[in-house]
């Protein structure tokens, strides 16, 4: 199971993730994008408050973006940037920000270059992928054809990426991560994970609760893998955030050592 650090770094670094597409909402496509983005953003120091999946509806998507926009430092959407009739994320974003949707010259050159190189004509559907909210920047897509969108509204950054995971992940790592390292919180995240057997989660909770009163900016998650009263097995995840890498590493090691000692003292068998 994918776990993530839920350590509040700053109220000003709130982020939301949107995955857009009927196929995602209706369960025909497994939503791996939200897991990837939630995980990566948490490790970059953002407080991800929600992952929202919506159908391809301009009014609905724009309404939700407007709802989370106040107080958000970052909004990332995936899906709905392609050439088909139901790819309308760019339109929804323009509506949410009260901007005109227009042909972006830079995005048009990106799209044109890819199709001309393959001897394919620039149909209306293909040109549609270069329609961006006024003032937005296109994000290069080296894997696919649809450019991403980088828009800003006040102190908020809005990023729209394609829904195809290989495209989304490539664009996120190449374009979004460098942007967020400059614009985002200056924080380091240290993580550890270990397993403890023969200790019910209710017993482990006593050790965890005492420890969290001692340490700040520490997140501990116990995930049952066995049964509470039969053969209990817990996966224990520890995450620490700090402005200093050495401090984060030092604290996470101290927390893990104290947890292991506490669990062992209650009869738990810790590994590794």
151 located within any domain: yes
41 and 171 co-located in one domain: yes
The pLDDT, as a whole number, for residue 5 is 53
15 and 143 co-located in one domain: yes
The pLDDT, as a whole number, for residue 10 is 46
1 located within any domain: no
pLDDT mean for each 10 residues of the chain (272 residues): 42 89 95 94 90 98 97 97 96 98 98 95 96 98 96 96 96 95 87 94 93 87 81 92 88 96 95 86
The pLDDT, as a whole number, for residue 158 is 98
The residue range of the domain holding 223 is 188-271
**CATH code, domain with 264:** 3.30.70.360
168 and 195 co-located in one domain: no
32 and 94 co-located in one domain: yes
> How far is the CA of 148 from the CAs of 89, 120, 130, 153, 256, in angstroms?
10, 21, 9, 17, 41
Q: State if pTM tops 0.85.
A: no
165 and 218 co-located in one domain: no
6 located within any domain: no
Indicate the residue among 124, 157, 183 that finishes a domain: 183
5 located within any domain: no
The pLDDT, as a whole number, for residue 2 is 32
The pLDDT, as a whole number, for residue 227 is 73
Strands 188-197 and 269-271: antiparallel
Question: DSSP states of the chain as a string?
Answer: ----------GGGEEEEEEE-HHHHTTSS---HHHHHHHHHHHTT-EEEEEEEE-S-HHHHHHHHHHH-TT-SEEEEES--SSSTT--HHHHHHHHTT--EEE-HHHHHHHHHHHHHTT----HHHHGGGEEETT-EEE--SSSSS-EEEEEETTEEEEEE-SSHHHHHHHIIIIIHHHHHHHS---EEEEEEEEEES--HHHHHHHHHHHHTT-SSEEEEEEESS-SSSS-EEEEEEEEEESSHHHHHHHHHHHHHHHHHHHHHTT-EEE-
92 located within any domain: yes
73 located within any domain: yes
Q: What is the count of structural domains for the chain?
A: 2
38 located within any domain: yes
215 and 109 co-located in one domain: no
Nearest CA among 173, 99, 103, 96 for reference residue 140: 173
132 and 92 co-located in one domain: yes
96 and 179 co-located in one domain: yes
Indicate the residue among 135, 157, 183 that finishes a domain: 183
Indicate the residue among 124, 148, 183 that finishes a domain: 183
87 and 193 co-located in one domain: no
The pLDDT, as a whole number, for residue 217 is 77
28 and 99 co-located in one domain: yes
174 and 257 co-located in one domain: no
23 and 90 co-located in one domain: yes
**CATH code, domain with 45:** 3.40.980.10
19 located within any domain: yes
């Amino acid at each position: 199971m994918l776990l993530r650090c839920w350590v509040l770094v700053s109220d000003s670094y709130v982020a939301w993730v949107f995955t857009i597409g009927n196929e995602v909402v209706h369960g025909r496509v497994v939503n791996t994008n939200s897991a990837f983005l939630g995980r990566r953003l948490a490790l970059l120091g953002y407080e991800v408050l929600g992952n929202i999946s919506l159908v391809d509806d301009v009014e609905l998507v724009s309404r939700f973006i407007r709802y989370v926009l106040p107080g958000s430092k970052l909004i990332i959407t995936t899906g709905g940037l392609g050439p088909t009739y139901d790819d309308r994320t760019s339109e929804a974003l323009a509506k949410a920000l009260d901007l005109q949707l227009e042909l972006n010259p830079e995005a048009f050159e990106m799209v044109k270059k890819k199709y001309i190189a393959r001897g394919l004509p620039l149909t209306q559907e293909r040109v549609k992928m270069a329609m961006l909210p006024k003032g937005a920047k296109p994000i290069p897509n080296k894997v696919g054809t649809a450019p991403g969108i980088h828009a800003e509204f006040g102190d908020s950054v809005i990023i729209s990426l394609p829904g195809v995971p290989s495209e989304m992940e490539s664009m996120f790592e190449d374009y979004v991560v460098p942007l967020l390292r400059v614009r985002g919180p200056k924080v380091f995240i240290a993580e550890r994970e270990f397993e403890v057997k023969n200790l019910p989660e209710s017993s482990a909770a006593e050790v965890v609760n005492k420890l969290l009163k001692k340490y700040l900016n520490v997140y501990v998650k116990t995930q049952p893998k066995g049964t509470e009263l039969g053969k209990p097995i817990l996966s224990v995840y520890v995450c620490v955030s700090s402005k200093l890498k050495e401090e984060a590493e030092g604290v996470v090691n101290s927390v893990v050592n104290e947890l292991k000692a506490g669990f062992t003292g209650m009869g738990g068998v810790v590994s590794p």
